[in-house]
Amino acid sequence: MLFSEDKMQETRHKGRIEVICGSMFSGKTEELIRRLKRAKFARQRVEIFKPAIDVRYSQIEVVSHDSHAIASTPVDTSASILLFTSEIEVVGIDEAQFFDDGLVEVCNQLADDGVRVIVAGLDMDFRGRPFGPMPALCAIADEVSKVHAICVKCGQLASFSHRTVQNDKQVLLGETAEYEPLCRDCYREATRE
């Protein structure tokens, strides 16, 4: 079935939710930045958000582990995102696992209003359990991209973020000194009691 130009134009402005998930060091933020830069290149109105608590690389930018960056608006709650999104065509949200569960409704509302929403975040915490609003976001997403790191022990695809320091808090901002990507087998071996 062929689409007419009118139908294609109409299709372009429909809202959708895209989720990019995976372990630490898997390229989630890199992929988010890539998609957002393409939207900006296409002259779409873009706004990017991150949780205010994430100040690892920058207080006001979303920054990938390999130092690619894009300007962002730090917010304390998911509801704050709606305050900044009038007349916006594409919304990017990084580190979604740190947001409150209201993020699911915020993303749904934006998509229902015709906004393309691109969300990146960890799907599991260091214990291998679903993290924050990410499972619900994956469930309602129009598209889910699971990206993988490389296991630092064996070189296989890694899906787990293994914490290498003693700390039981679910949220511990960190980098290579605190976390390493592991495959399922190496994660099980590392966390065996």
Residue 179 has pLDDT above 70, yes or no: yes
DSSP-based helix, strand, coil % in the chain, nearest 5: 30, 25, 45
Read off the DSSP letter of residue 2. Answer: P
Residue 7 has pLDDT above 80, yes or no: no
Pairwise CA distance, residues 50 & 58, whole Å: 11
Instruction: Establish if 180 belongs to a structural domain.
Output: no
We report the CATH number of the domain holding residue 72 as 3.40.50.300
Give the closest residue to 149 by CA, choosing from 16, 6, 21, 63. Answer: 21
pLDDT tens digit sequence for 11-69: 456 899 999 999 999 999 999 999 999 999 999 999 999 988 765 555 555 555 565 66
Instruction: Establish if 139 belongs to a structural domain.
Output: yes
Residue 6 has pLDDT above 80, yes or no: no
Instruction: Establish if 35 belongs to a structural domain.
Output: yes
Strands (DSSP E) found in 76-191: 90-93, 116-122, 143-147, 149-150, 157-158, 160-163, 179-182
pLDDT of residue 67: 54
Q: Please, which pLDDT band fits residue 178 given cuts at 50, 70 and 90?
A: confident
Q: Residue 97, Cβ neighbours under 10 Å: how many?
A: 23
Over residues 166-186, mean pLDDT: 76
What are the residue numbers of the active site?
Answer: 95
Instruction: Establish if 118 belongs to a structural domain.
Output: yes
Mean pLDDT of the chain, nearest integer: 86
pLDDT of residue 102: 97
Q: Alpha helix (H) ranges present in the chain?
A: 5-12, 28-41, 103-112, 134-140, 184-191
